[in-house]
Amino acid sequence: MIEKRWSSRQPLRLEVDVEFGGNSFMGQTIDVGLGGVFVETKAYHFEQDKDVTLRFQSDQDSRIESSDLNARIVRVSDGGIGLMFQNFDADAYRSLKTVMSCA
């Protein structure tokens, strides 16, 4: 499989809340980059090319601020979903950089 990412990802396990179509679930990231994230999922059915909202959970020392990130499902596998971030603002970018610094 050829990688189509425009940014690299680093391994990082964090709790996230994913909202889609009026539903939400808690998942855990496998890896995170400025372009997207892979979220481990269990019993949910996802469709590729659907939009979701992703929220990283604040850590104990509050370095990670809760910030909504818009994303699109670009890959669905048995183990989870690959998300590509879309249209995020400066605050969401700073929050994402903070999340990535926790690795």
Listed residue (35, 14, 36) closest to 26, CA to CA: 14
* Residue 60 belongs to domain spanning: 9-101
CATH for 39: 2.40.10.220
Residue 85 included in any domain? yes
pLDDT of residue 31: 93
Residue 2 included in any domain? no
β-bridge partners, 70? 53, 86
Residue 4 included in any domain? no
- Tens of pLDDT, residue by residue over 42-99, are 767 888 999 999 988 765 455 556 678 999 999 999 899 999 999 878 877 787 787 7
CA–CA dist 9, 33 (Å, integer): 4
Residue 89 included in any domain? yes
24: helix, coil or strand? strand
Q: For the chain, what is the domain count?
A: 1
- Sign of the C-alpha dihedral, residues 10, 15, 19, 25? positive
Residue 65 included in any domain? yes
The model's pTM is: 0.83
Residue 3 included in any domain? no
Residue 48 included in any domain? yes
